[in-house]
Structure 1
Amino acid sequence: MTDLELAEVESFSLDHTKVLAPYVRLIGVEHGPKGDAISNFDIRLVQPNEGEIPTAGLHTIEHTLAGLLRTRFEGLIDISPFGCRTGFHIIAWGEPTAAVVAQAIKASLEDIVDRVTWNDVPGTTAESCGNYRDHSLHSAKEWAKVVLDQGISIDAFDRSIIA
């Protein structure tokens, strides 16, 4: 071990062998000096260490969710994919519940499966994306179906499926 000091990152303390994906988990809420709250969520679509969403499909899910989720709950700041390709972090103003976020994710994945066409996917040109060639709507639709078929839980350790 080196003398390098690293801050503890909550998600690296989570026992990934115990969680039951797909789920939405509130990681925590940070409060700013003026009382503003920012919530951080773990959106796990694939069981860790058992699978991963291919990059092109994950990229298309990310771009599409970025637009759809902003129409479904207020305060979304960012949705960013995990490097392990099993899901996303969502950062939001305020303190939305895991159920509110899960319902928005579910409705958005349903739209990806049933309604989204290539023309609906934002950020698919060289001008609007840093890796515009790495998208797949087909993969996004197939993975969205897998997640919806399993159901989304609001508890990382128990399959408390939302309706």
Structure 2
Amino acid sequence: MGEVELAEVESFALDHTKVRAPYVRLIGVERGPKGDAISNFDIRLVQPNEGEIPTAGLHTIEHTIAGLLRTRLDGVIDISPFGCRTGFHLIVWGEPSNADVASAIKASLDDIAERVTWDDVPGTDAVSCGNYRDHSLHSAREWSRAVLEQGISVDAFDRSVLA
């Protein structure tokens, strides 16, 4: 390796050939100087290296799930897509269980798949989005339905699907 020193990032140490998406996986919990916990979750919607959500659909899921999830799960700090387009990082205050997170993700994807209209999708103009032309509610719905049909597991390595 070159002369640059890089810290190890847990997500890159994960064997992506062994996980079985869709799933929720706790990556880790960090503690602040006052003991506050911040949890980082891997929300994997698509099997790594076997598919990816097109950017327009992923972008619309991102914008919509950001608001939906905050109505279902306390302490959401951020939900951001992976560059590989197979899912999201979810950062939250506290230590919710995988099942609590999976339940909130499932309900949010169900809303995207069945109830959200274009008027519900936030950040779809030049003022509120850095790439507002790259959205697709149709794609977001189709991918949300595909994930829901497979079920969301609370274990990254064993299909323990949330009921």
Correspondence list, 1:63-82, <5 A? 63-82=63-82
Shift of 1:114: 1.0
| Equivalent pairs, count | 163
Write out per-residue CA displacement over residues 19-46 of structure 1, whole angstroms, 9 at most, x where no aligned residue: 0000000000000110000000000000
| Corresponding residue of 1:33 | 33
| Corresponding residue of 2:9 | 9
Structure 1 unaligned spans of 5+: none
| Residue 140 of structure 2 corresponds to residue 148 of structure 1 | no
Q: Cα RMSD (Å) of the superposition?
A: 0.4
Correspondence list, 1:1-163, <5 A? 1-163=1-163
Q: State the TM-score, normalized to the length of structure 2.
A: 0.99
Return the alpha-carbon distance in structure 2 between the equivalents of residues 114 and 2 of structure 1.
49
Return the alpha-carbon distance in structure 1 between the equivalents of residues 82 and 161 of structure 2.
22
- Secondary structure, in 3 states, of the residue corresponding to 1:147? helix
What amino acid is the match of 1:26? L
Return the alpha-carbon distance in structure 1 between the equivalents of residues 108 and 15 of structure 2.
28
Write out per-residue CA displacement over residues 109-145 of structure 1, whole angstroms, 9 at most, x where no aligned residue: 0001110000000110100000000000000000001
What amino acid is the match of 2:161? I
**What percent of counterpart residues are identical?**
82
Shift of 1:3: 1.6
Q: State the TM-score, normalized to the length of structure 1.
A: 0.99
